[in-house]
Structure 1
Amino acid sequence: MSRTSSPSAPPSAGGQLSLSLTTPKIVFLIIAAAAPLAAMVGTVPLAFALGNGPGVPAMFVFAGLTLMCFCVGYAAISRRVVNAGGFYTYISCGLGRPPAVAGGLIAVVAYNTASVGLLGSFAYFAQLVAASHGLDLPWEAWAAAGLLLVAVLGYRQIDLSVRVLGVAMCCEVGILLLLAAAVLVRHGAAALPGTSFSPHTLSGSGIGVSMMFAFISFIGIESAALYGEEAHNPERSVSRATYISISLIALFYGFISWIAVGAVGPHSIQKVAGAQLGDLFFSLSDDYLTEAFTTAMQVLLCLSLFAGWLALHNAANRYMFVLGREGVLPRVLGTAHARYASPYRASLTQTAFSLVTAAVFAVAGLDPYLGLTTSMLGLGTLGIIFLQAVACLSVIGYFWRRPDRHWWRTALAPALGFAGLAVATSLVVINFDTMTGTKNPVVDSLPWLILVGAVLGPAYALWIRSAHPERYARLAGVETRRGEPVEFAGRTVTEAVPTGS
């Protein structure tokens, strides 16, 4: 079955992306954005040290179950609505265009800043790893090299990015599974202590901080919808890829963090993690594997960070592409490459934003990790979790008066998802200084940007409605299969199929 555009669908001229993605490819994109090895090395030790210690694996399970509720509604709407606009389109379908414009602008800020945050993290760890092996270059050099490669891959057709991300994901997951196997061989069943899931542990102090870090580690799981226009069968691929990704990430994170508790000991994990932080998993590799495997893990950490950076770069591009295509952002951003069918101008814009932001931090002499990474990634994380919560409300609103609504898929599940994500959003705001590792008043004020976007976005949409009513009427248009209803901003338009077409 071929696809076509309705009057409310995205324009095809100059704006058509390639149809090259399958479910496995989208799964690679999602899991790569979560950066499994980077999450284990960088986030889990902090959750152990600052949270409830051995209870961290249970928090990953809780976050996974909450996001699975989010996924139920997200999958339901993704089968009806096909668009590269992700949150922007779904919020429009359920809550209307003004909130959708706010959501789209917040998404642009969130994904762009998160991408820059991973730039800083990649440069920081690449410098450390290379210097430990005799290649001592400034972090700015590694940032420039990584940015050049991201720019090239983002400019080209997304299949090339998928190949890079697939290799990176398999390598980083593989080495963590080797470590887990070594711990299991040495300790047997004791490598998976029941203490991690005991009521006593889960009722202890620090559970809120652990929960916050658990939700942070799932960033990127909602990005499947951004690739709907590039999927062969979006009605199935988007929902399947989201379900598979959340399940795999929750099980993997929960299992590896549980193995770490067993390797160190449930009564020692909080103290040891606090002392070693980012070196915790490297120390475990030295102990349970060999120094050669530790070196490989260090290199793969850099690869993991690069993969996450590239995945978020691609996600940011698609938001700018769709918002540019519809005139919310400059229309020049909404043009696809004639040969590669990629959002190349949006990619170049994201690259330029990353370059300027990193340059400002470098000129100011700020640390690439404690300055650039924590602040930018913290803001991006908050924005994405906030949008996940709003998306749950959008699903409820979209299906509220539809005959195909369902008590679980389109009502209770997204309501439970909203409740969990609202708690996660509050935890991030309350513990923002803990997450960023600084009490700098400028950094601590960054969450206000989300509120500013939530206020200015609807105001901007209402201005478009007043000044450019025709453009406003085309906001959040979608593509669907020929002859099926077109979902556009909550309205259903049945498209007539020309005879003989």
Structure 2
Amino acid sequence: MSEPSPPSEDGGLSRTLTTPKIVFLIIAAAAPLAAMVGTVPLAFALGNGAGVPAMFVFSGLTLMCFCSGYAAISRRVVNAGGFYTYISCGLGRPAAVGGGLIAVVAYNAASAGLLGAFAYFAQLVGASHGLDLPWELWAAAGLAAVAVLGYRQIDVSARVLAVVLICEVGILLALGAAILLDRGGSALPSTSFSAHTVTGAGIGVSMMFAFISFIGIESAALYGEEAHHPERTVSRATYIAVSLIALFYGLISWLAVGAVGATRVQEVATRELGDLFLNLSDDYLTSALTSLMQLLLCLSLFASWLALHNAANRYMFVLGREKVMPAGLSAVHRRFRSPHRAGLAQTGFSAVVATAFALAGLDPYMGLTTSMLGLGTVGIVVLQALACLSVIGFFRNRGDGHWWNTRLAPVLGFAGLSLATVLVVANFDTMTGTTNPVVAALPWVVLGSGVIGVGYALWIRSARPARYARLAGVETRDPAPPEPGPEALVTAGPAHRRTP
């Protein structure tokens, strides 16, 4: 067992994360294998069929615009607050508190949704191999494992996620290589990127599923206080993660089109749905590797669950430190230097939600997963769009802005993410698989959280001006430090305080 890292100089979270570890945390949150097995067939069936690979490329380019501004501000502002801190820098404290509450709702909901997905697929895979247990038991076992790993220092989670991620990417690459060897050039049909195919019926639904598959790419900034050199690590990790996800998802989905046939992929995906990639594995690999893929699917969902659990922890930790949420959530474990109380709170939330769905007799996937992941997706895409605006606001009156990174790219990112928000809300029933009015109303929870946060911040400004002045404080670093170190830090007050 590795020894926990020593505390940071200010007694805060441990600084143990490097660029590769943060990349693993980001990509694991996106769950590559789960996205291919669970999301891509739905995009084929309900969207523009063979044009789905182009939608991944489009989504990746849009999010690279988002990343340009996100990376620029992350090099100046180091904090575990993620969207909360960045929105404050560009749009002000009331908007930041609103964004912070949206983030807490979104990441907690997404984490609870992945609990349901893990339990559902673990039950199916276990039953197919003679271990037929209720989904509630799988949920409890997974929740216990996530709670323990989330309680420990963050690099323990990063190591676990790295192993799982390498395995799930490896089996998808093996499937892709087998398809290429068998079908040659026809495995990559050009029709997937033709204007006729891309702009066909269902393009909006495909675009929605493509953006959903990138959820978690923005989480690098949450680990700024735990990174060795955050002014470089956060931006570098974000760029690497988005590039890899876009290329990988685009390639694997393109090979799937080639394996099935561009003219047949929509029909076959509609019939097979979640079995599509498992059947391709039977055809191009072996039944033994298909069984391994089933196991890795469960581990992929677990890895994504753990990554989003850690992201939710960091938001509650920061908002507890700011006293927007109960101050006890800001406690740091004396040995592991982790936000352990925030982790326990997130575990408790997931347990309560899962118990409520179980007592109501609802399906863990079509009930718990689709509704909670749908809610989380809406919130996170809205936050990404707001972050683009905040980058523009932050650099507006500064002399270190750039025409692309801090102006045009954020504008393009905001336009693309606004479109994604509209598509997700408009197709919410498709994404969740139900027209239940309660589920259909979930996007209003995001709006309500934001309004409550803004109103609460305005009340603090009026009733507690001194406390308001301390909200969303940040450290601002020199945009181009010669070497990372204390001499590169430029502050206008104590740590965690806003600079002018």
Q: Which bin holds the TM-score, normalised by the shorter protein? A: over 0.9
Q: Using the TM superposition, give the Cα deviation of residue 238 of structure 1 relative to its aligned residue in structure 2, in angstroms.
A: 0.2
Structure 2 unaligned regions, length at least 5: 1-6, 478-484
Q: What secondary structure is seen at the aligned counterpart in 2 of 1:92? A: helix
Q: What secondary structure is seen at the aligned counterpart in 1 of 2:13? A: coil
Q: What secondary structure is seen at the aligned counterpart in 2 of 1:492? A: coil
Matching residue within 291, 312, 315 for 2:311: 315
Summarize the alignment of residues 384-395 of structure 1 with structure 2, pairs less than 5 Å apart: 384-395=380-391
Q: Using the TM superposition, give the Cα deviation of residue 467 of structure 1 relative to its aligned residue in structure 2, in angstroms.
A: 2.3
What code does the residue aligned with 1:485 have? V
Aligned to 1:492: 499
Structure 1 unaligned regions, length at least 5: 6-11, 494-501
Q: Deviations over 1:295-315 (max 9, x none)?
A: 000000000000000000000
Contact 1:96–1:490 at 8 Å: present in 2 too?
no
Contact 1:80–1:487 at 8 Å: present in 2 too?
no
Contact 2:474–2:499 at 8 Å: present in 1 too?
no
In the alignment of these two chains, the number of paired residues is 483
Aligned to 1:172: 168
Matching residue within 77, 81, 91 for 2:77: 81
CA-based RMSD: 1.4
Structure 1 Cα separation of the partners of residues 123 and 327 of structure 2: 38
Q: Using the TM superposition, give the Cα deviation of residue 478 of structure 1 relative to its aligned residue in structure 2, in angstroms.
A: 2.2
Structure 2 Cα separation of the partners of residues 464 and 317 of structure 1: 24
Q: What secondary structure is seen at the aligned counterpart in 2 of 1:462? A: helix
Q: Deviations over 1:87-121 (max 9, x none)?
A: 00000000000000000000000000000000000
Aligned to 1:370: 366
Question: TM-score, normalized by length of structure 1?
Answer: 0.95
Aligned to 2:183: 187
Structure 2 Cα separation of the partners of residues 45 and 209 of structure 1: 12
Q: What secondary structure is seen at the aligned counterpart in 1 of 2:215? A: coil
CA distance 1:490–1:203, change in 2 (3 Å): farther
Q: Using the TM superposition, give the Cα deviation of residue 466 of structure 1 relative to its aligned residue in structure 2, in angstroms.
A: 2.0
Structure 2 Cα separation of the partners of residues 490 and 410 of structure 1: 23
Summarize the alignment of residues 25-424 of structure 1 with structure 2, pairs less than 5 Å apart: 25-424=21-420
Structure 2 Cα separation of the partners of residues 355 and 454 of structure 1: 25
Q: Deviations over 1:277-318 (max 9, x none)?
A: 000000000000110000000000000000000000000000
Contact 2:474–2:498 at 8 Å: present in 1 too?
no
Contact 2:333–2:340 at 8 Å: present in 1 too?
yes
Q: What secondary structure is seen at the aligned counterpart in 1 of 2:131? A: coil
Contact 2:472–2:497 at 8 Å: present in 1 too?
no
Aligned to 1:482: 486
Q: Using the TM superposition, give the Cα deviation of residue 485 of structure 1 relative to its aligned residue in structure 2, in angstroms.
A: 2.1
Structure 2 Cα separation of the partners of residues 386 and 423 of structure 1: 10
Q: Deviations over 1:260-280 (max 9, x none)?
A: 000000000000000000000
What code does the residue aligned with 1:241 have? A
Greater alpha carbon shift after TM alignment, 398-407 vs 245-254: 398-407
What code does the residue aligned with 1:280 have? L
Q: What secondary structure is seen at the aligned counterpart in 2 of 1:476? A: coil
Contact 2:8–2:14 at 8 Å: present in 1 too?
no
Q: Using the TM superposition, give the Cα deviation of residue 245 of structure 1 relative to its aligned residue in structure 2, in angstroms.
A: 0.1
Contact 2:470–2:498 at 8 Å: present in 1 too?
no
Structure 2 Cα separation of the partners of residues 411 and 365 of structure 1: 50
CA distance 1:487–1:387, change in 2 (3 Å): farther
Q: What secondary structure is seen at the aligned counterpart in 2 of 1:18? A: coil
Q: Deviations over 1:343-374 (max 9, x none)?
A: 00000000000000000000000000000000
CA distance 1:464–1:477, change in 2 (3 Å): same
Structure 1 Cα separation of the partners of residues 80 and 281 of structure 2: 41
Aligned to 1:496: none
What code does the residue aligned with 1:350 have? Q
Q: Using the TM superposition, give the Cα deviation of residue 487 of structure 1 relative to its aligned residue in structure 2, in angstroms.
A: 7.4
Contact 2:470–2:497 at 8 Å: present in 1 too?
no
Contact 1:93–1:487 at 8 Å: present in 2 too?
no
Structure 2 Cα separation of the partners of residues 422 and 486 of structure 1: 34
Structure 1 Cα separation of the partners of residues 156 and 486 of structure 2: 29
Structure 1 Cα separation of the partners of residues 346 and 459 of structure 2: 26
Contact 1:94–1:490 at 8 Å: present in 2 too?
no
Structure 1 Cα separation of the partners of residues 492 and 268 of structure 2: 53
Structure 2 Cα separation of the partners of residues 361 and 281 of structure 1: 29
